[in-house]
Structure 1
């Protein structure tokens, strides 16, 4: 049986929380341990329940989801999946800076959301494909986009690790990278872990950002 993942639901709409609870409660490896309707309540609930994953809305009364994410990450109370909307890039990048480990669109299919909770709960950051494209556009835009200096950490990566990191930056899953490189998923998982350790980022979400900032992936890739 898979390890039980404890989930905290944060949204100012009770109906939304109820829907998420119903969706997650039927999964044998997921347990909803609490709910909160605003950012401050989310921080308090995270301190009490120590969830593995916090599903976090952004726009809420009082403390918003971005500040709540920052506090939860700083206190190491749980890993945060931001539920974002497609047209608010400012939320996305503010949440990245706050330390969120996952980003899903609110109109995602239930299976995608469940997979996101599992991925983040087991230590893997996650970006929805649409959100990945937003990150790519931001990272490759502006006057300095083509003039970034190659960071010293890049020299630490093997050729295969560079290929895996490029796959991550393109928004590919481990399975997709494995198929492209004709390797097993377990091997890709090892390469991903090595990449994160060598470049000094905590999860694949921030590895995507690092890859674009380092110029490892170009806008035309």
Structure 2
């Protein structure tokens, strides 16, 4: 089923990063919802079975449940994941991409690159 109003979940423990990505996506016509960590996001998924974002922008390093573990738990749901990180470690990049991440971006990343990979992950340009 095609989601006519796709929502992107942004999961990052840095509130300023969440705000910036949400603003950036909204400027591109993409709705976004932010979560302050992996545990909060996983809780939202488990408590509301109808909640399914079109894509997840996921920080690698967070307190509690980290990005790679969240990604591992998302695999059965088939949600596209864009991993973001300030600490680019080759082994983590390989693990994230091998587990199905559609992209792996190092902070600070180019705004156009993020929008491009999110639009590709949600199936094209947003609908006006």
State TM-score, norm by structure 2. Answer: 0.81
Q: Stretches of 4+ moved more than 6 A in 1? A: none
Which of the pair has more CA radius of gyration? 1
Residue 45 of structure 1: aligned partner: 44
Shift of 1:98: 2.7
1:89 has 2:79 as partner: no
Structure possessing the higher relative contact order (Cα contacts under 8 Å, 6 or more residues apart)? 2
Size of the aligned set, in residue pairs, is 118
CA distance in 1, matches of 2:38, 2:57: 12
1:102 has 2:103 as partner: yes
Q: Which runs of 5+ in 2 are unaligned?
A: none
Residue 31 of structure 1: aligned partner: 31
More strand by share: 2
More helix by share: 1
Q: Alignment partner of 1:18: what SS? A: helix
Q: Which runs of 5+ in 1 are unaligned?
A: 124-221
RMSD (CA atoms): 1.9
Q: Alignment partner of 1:9: what SS? A: strand
Change (3 A) 1:61 1:86: closer
State TM-score, norm by structure 1. Answer: 0.49
CA deviation profile, 1:181-217 (whole Å, cap 9, x unmatched): xxxxxxxxxxxxxxxxxxxxxxxxxxxxxxxxxxxxx
